[in-house]
Amino acid sequence: MRHVALLARLGLEPGDEEFYAEQLSGILAHIDRLQQVDTDDIPPTAQVVEIVNQLREDEPRPGLSQYEVLANAPVAYDGYFRVPSIQEEA
């Protein structure tokens, strides 16, 4: 539970763990039921839409201005997004 929360960067309050663990167990139980379906004759399917080869020509298009892209940033500095250091302790 804690590992999953860490991967998703979710902060868990005291008591949350049991609450979500129960929900997650329900989801896993459902997956277990799905696993029982016989899929021997069905090829692995990553896409249900029958579209392939959607390619784009290498032509530049205008995007967002620096002002626009930083508009939602919690903290911006000198044209950059500013974030707490992500370096692990060496």
Partner 1 sequence: MSNEDLDAPSGRSGHLPGERGGHPSSWEVVIGMEVHVQPRTRTKMFCGCAVGQLGDPPNSNVCEICTGMPGVLPVINKAAVEACLKTALALNCEIPRHTKFDRKNYMYPDLPKGYQISQYDLPMSHDGVLELDGRKVRIRRVHLEEDTGKLVHAGDKLHMAKESFVDLNRAGIPLMEIVSEPDLRSADEARDYAVALRTLLRTIGASEAEMEKGQLRAEPNISIRRIGTEELGVKTELKNINSFRALHRAIQFEVARQVEVVESGGTVVQETRGWSEAEQRTFSQRSKEFAEDYRYFPEPDLPPLELDPKWIEALRIALPEMPGVRRSRLISEYGLPAADAGLITADVMLANLFEAAVKAGAQARPAANWVIGEVAPSGKLPSAEVLADVVKMVSGGSITRDQGREVLTESLSSGRAPAEIVAERGFAQDSDEASVKVIVEAVMVANPRAVEDYRAGKKQALGALMADVKKRAPQANPKVANSLLQKLLG
Measured CA to CA, the distance from residue 72 to residue 81 in angstroms comes to 10
Give 38 or 57: the residue with its C-beta nearer to partner 1. Answer: 57
Q: Examine residue 77 and tell whether it contacts partner 1 (CB under 8 A).
A: yes
Kindly report the backbone phi and psi dihedral angles of residue 28, in degrees, each rounded to the nearest multiple of 5, phi listed first. -65, -35
Q: Which token pair is 3?
A: 């590992």
Q: Examine residue 53 and tell whether it contacts partner 1 (CB under 8 A).
A: yes
Stretch that binds partner 1, among 14-22, 23-31, 33-41, 65-73 (CB under 8 A): 65-73
Q: Examine residue 28 and tell whether it contacts partner 1 (CB under 8 A).
A: no
Residue linked to tokens 């997650």: 24
The span from the first CA to the last CA of the chain, in angstroms, equals 27
Give 14 or 74: the residue with its C-beta nearer to partner 1. Answer: 74
Measured CA to CA, the distance from residue 85 to residue 82 in angstroms comes to 9
Contact set with partner 1 (CB under 8 A):
3, 7-9, 46-47, 49, 51-61, 63-66, 69-70, 77-88, 90
